Chains A and B, each alone.
Chain A
């Protein structure tokens, strides 16, 4: 079994008096795609945000490659090699695609900017066509691609994705997930994926966790969970 990259142990997070995470334990190993599924308000996004120190965990420990990052500043965490594509994509709408990608590379060595750009364009050829267009004029799917490409520009060792399928057409969702798989297989990128679209996420992931009300309820390999009756009933019935 390969080494653990990101681990959460007993992580609690509060929004004021409300406890959003109630002691979460998750491990992500090198080279894996791990997904976290759960319904609205389960605390998925909170977990990702807590990873980046905003809000901070009130209890518990988060480590990345053995280093304690529980109390590190957001921008420092990113510099350690964790790239994040935040919920709702959050691209820069008034900047061009190219400028957005440059913003992604802002903390990395400019010497390999060209090479990284080439890679990003190879993953998402549409971005190359759209490079001079303003981010805000892209379609939802293209914006999501841009958000992922931007995150990859910092040469991360780990990619955090928050609901990349949000508000996208099924065909585009499939394409995005295909690319995530490609990034994982070709570049050996470790991916931690938070999703509501359980079917696609579970099919893609090596391992998966199910979060309910701020706690991990179930875990296992993607296929195991796909076959699980409870999961089928709660997250998969009624189509995907």
Chain B
């Protein structure tokens, strides 16, 4: 008996040696990695390059790794109270110093300076991330302390997350319109400046591309790695039509869509016998082909110089210019406003919002039509589809063509927004990002695409302060999602039709027609 209790006592006692060894090792790895990555920076200076050393930051990194590891170690050993107290104290210090450094005018200089010195890297954004980590640690510490923590298995967690996704999907009935209202109101919010509206426009462009690709990948289940090709076709269609035929944006828009759809069908026709990985590789090749053609057809596309001077869109014929055209009105004079360069920015924002919503409504509607359901069925089982009388080739071609068409619309919007395009904007990485948005959002989920776009496009833009670390954070986010939600954030398919009673069949039969 005595032996047992001594053993138990030993287990309870903290093995300081192991703790120091563990934390020390982690700190050493952090030091070894950061000494080269963080410790030195090469900067352009007058008269050549200059090497800047940042050993202070290396020390901060090492210290963070050490403290973090100690806290994790304690957590594993069931020392909830210690973790809770220490991380709460650290979080409080960090929070106070963030607050202090953000209000430099109202506090004495000395306090602000101390607060800034406490912040890791002297950076508010990074410190906020640290703060979140500390708060999470504190919560975990509290859970361990009260023994309320329950180690979940992978499946349990998956099921939990799926329940959350299903719930989100359920409230998406409200969430969707709510998001739309927010999107419409965004330019008039007090915090909305030009930068915010620009980021919004960018995010919406990717939302639209995501929704377009969702038709091909999410609904029809055809893995397309060259979607950016259609984006490029749309952009160049508009730019070239404008250059050679003086076509306005509104006139060129449908043409750009048709050209992209034609490109989609042309690509689709020979390759749709392929499946899965093979199809992915061919589409990848197609994407590169388009880019290389644009790059090398110098006389027609301008090659690597790109096309510039692409006309800006007008508001029903009213241009957004400072100079009023002769014998006409500009947007500002027509509505009796003072000229502001923001008008066009806001107009472009609404334009892409409208285009994206058209894409969304189209997809939602077509999912309920036979062709849309045939896409989804084709994704599930091609042989069964054939035995039901569905022509798989035509069905896939329509998916490819329609997906490409929306890519083309987005492309001509991109061209008119930038005013300049070159093959550089249509590299493979764009396809990869759009595909990542679709997959991350949960294949086939419309709202998931919005979330994923905000996550993948919006956050990196907002966190530009992090500079080169933002790609690191991006990678970390992707890894976390792969671990927690391998099927995508909102991967929970809602039936396109649901019946609760016989009396509703009449209504649904109309949907069916």
Q: Residues of A at under 8 Å CB distance from B? A: 52, 54, 73-75, 78-79, 83-86, 90-96, 98-99, 102-107, 110-111, 113-114, 117, 131-132, 150-151, 154
Please, which residues of chain B bring their CB within 8 A of the CB of A79? 389
Min distance, Cβ A97 to any Cβ of chain B, angstroms: 10
Min distance, Cβ B124 to any Cβ of chain A, angstroms: 45
Q: Considering the chains assembled together, what is the distance between the CA atoms of A98 and B513 in angstroms?
A: 15
Q: Residues of B at under 8 Å CB distance from A? A: 370, 373-374, 376-377, 380-381, 383-392, 493, 495-500, 505-506, 509, 512-513
Give 6 new A-B contacts, CB below 8 A, not counting A52-B386, A75-B391, A92-B377: A52-B387, A86-B383, A102-B497, A106-B370, A131-B499, A150-B388
Give the interface centre of B499, B500, B506, B513 by most chain A CB atoms within 10 Å. B499
Min distance, Cβ A50 to any Cβ of chain B, angstroms: 13
Q: Which residue of A lies closest to B498 (CB)?
A: A132
Min distance, Cβ B506 to any Cβ of chain A, angstroms: 7
Q: Which residue of A lies closest to B371 (CB)?
A: A106
Q: Considering the chains assembled together, what is the distance between the CA atoms of A218 and B495 in angstroms?
A: 48
Min distance, Cβ B380 to any Cβ of chain A, angstroms: 4
Residue in A84, A93, A98 whose beta carbon sits within 8 Å of that of B499 in the complex: A98
- Judge whether A86 and B499 touch: CB under 8 Å: no
**Which 3 pairs of residues, A with B, have the shortest CB-CB distance?**
A78-B389, A107-B389, A90-B384
Min distance, Cβ A6 to any Cβ of chain B, angstroms: 15
Min distance, Cβ B133 to any Cβ of chain A, angstroms: 37
Write 30 A-B pairs (CB below 8 A) sorted by A numbering: A54-B383, A74-B386, A75-B390, A75-B391, A75-B392, A78-B386, A78-B387, A78-B389, A83-B387, A84-B387, A90-B383, A92-B377, A92-B381, A92-B384, A95-B373, A95-B380, A98-B497, A98-B499, A102-B373, A103-B373, A103-B385, A103-B388, A106-B388, A106-B390, A107-B388, A107-B390, A114-B509, A117-B505, A132-B495, A151-B388
Query: Given A98-B497, A99-B496, A114-B509, A73–B377 Cβ distance below 8 Å?
Result: no
Please, which residues of chain B bring their CB within 8 A of the CB of A94? 380, 493
- Judge whether A103 and B377 touch: CB under 8 Å: yes
Q: Considering the chains assembled together, what is the distance between the CA atoms of A229 and B384 in angstroms?
A: 38
Please, which residues of chain B bring their CB within 8 A of the CB of A86? 383-384, 387
Min distance, Cβ A207 to any Cβ of chain B, angstroms: 24
Q: Which residue of A lies closest to B376 (CB)?
A: A95
- Judge whether B373 and A106 touch: CB under 8 Å: yes
Q: Which residue of B lies closest to A132 (CB)?
A: B498
Min distance, Cβ A103 to any Cβ of chain B, angstroms: 5
Main DSSP-derived SS at the B contact region:
helix
Give the interface centre of A52, A74, A78 by most chain B CB atoms within 10 Å. A74
Q: Considering the chains assembled together, what is the distance between the CA atoms of A107 and B377 in angstroms?
A: 14
Min distance, Cβ A100 to any Cβ of chain B, angstroms: 9
Min distance, Cβ B245 to any Cβ of chain A, angstroms: 41
- Judge whether B498 and A98 touch: CB under 8 Å: yes
Min distance, Cβ B169 to any Cβ of chain A, angstroms: 14
- Judge whether A96 and B495 touch: CB under 8 Å: yes
Q: Considering the chains assembled together, what is the distance between the CA atoms of A98 and B512 in angstroms?
A: 12
Please, which residues of chain A bring their CB within 8 A of the CB of B376? 92, 95
Q: Considering the chains assembled together, what is the distance between the CA atoms of A52 and B389 in angstroms?
A: 10
Residue in B381, B386, B500, B509 whose beta carbon sits within 8 Å of that of A110 in the complex: B509
- Judge whether A92 and B380 touch: CB under 8 Å: yes
Q: Considering the chains assembled together, what is the distance between the CA atoms of A151 and B373 in angstroms?
A: 16
Q: Which residue of B lies closest to A110 (CB)?
A: B513
Please, which residues of chain A bring their CB within 8 A of the CB of B388? 78, 103-104, 106-107, 150-151, 154
- Judge whether A90 and B495 touch: CB under 8 Å: no
- Judge whether A75 and B386 touch: CB under 8 Å: yes
Min distance, Cβ B392 to any Cβ of chain A, angstroms: 7
Query: Given A90-B383, A106-B373, A110-B509, A73–B498 Cβ distance below 8 Å?
Result: no
Q: Considering the chains assembled together, what is the distance between the CA atoms of A96 and B380 in angstroms?
A: 12
Q: Considering the chains assembled together, what is the distance between the CA atoms of A91 and B506 in angstroms?
A: 25
Q: Considering the chains assembled together, what is the distance between the CA atoms of A45 and B344 in angstroms?
A: 65
- Judge whether A114 and B390 touch: CB under 8 Å: no
Min distance, Cβ B372 to any Cβ of chain A, angstroms: 11
Q: Which residue of B lies closest to A135 (CB)?
A: B380
Min distance, Cβ B503 to any Cβ of chain A, angstroms: 12
- Judge whether B389 and A106 touch: CB under 8 Å: yes
- Judge whether B387 and A110 touch: CB under 8 Å: no
- Judge whether A90 and B499 touch: CB under 8 Å: no
Give the interface centre of A75, A107, A111 by most chain B CB atoms within 10 Å. A75
Min distance, Cβ A117 to any Cβ of chain B, angstroms: 7
Q: Considering the chains assembled together, what is the distance between the CA atoms of A65 and B498 in angstroms?
A: 38
Min distance, Cβ B513 to any Cβ of chain A, angstroms: 4
Please, which residues of chain A bring their CB within 8 A of the CB of B392? 75
Q: Considering the chains assembled together, what is the distance between the CA atoms of A18 and B24 in angstroms?
A: 67
- Judge whether A73 and B391 touch: CB under 8 Å: yes
Give the interface centre of B376, B388, B391, B505 by most chain A CB atoms within 10 Å. B388
Q: Which residue of B lies closest to A131 (CB)?
A: B499
Please, which residues of chain A bring their CB within 8 A of the CB of B384? 86, 90-92
Residue in A93, A98, A111 whose beta carbon sits within 8 Å of that of B495 in the complex: A98
Residue in A93, A107, A114 whose beta carbon sits within 8 Å of that of B380 in the complex: A93
- Judge whether A103 and B374 touch: CB under 8 Å: yes
- Judge whether B498 and A110 touch: CB under 8 Å: no
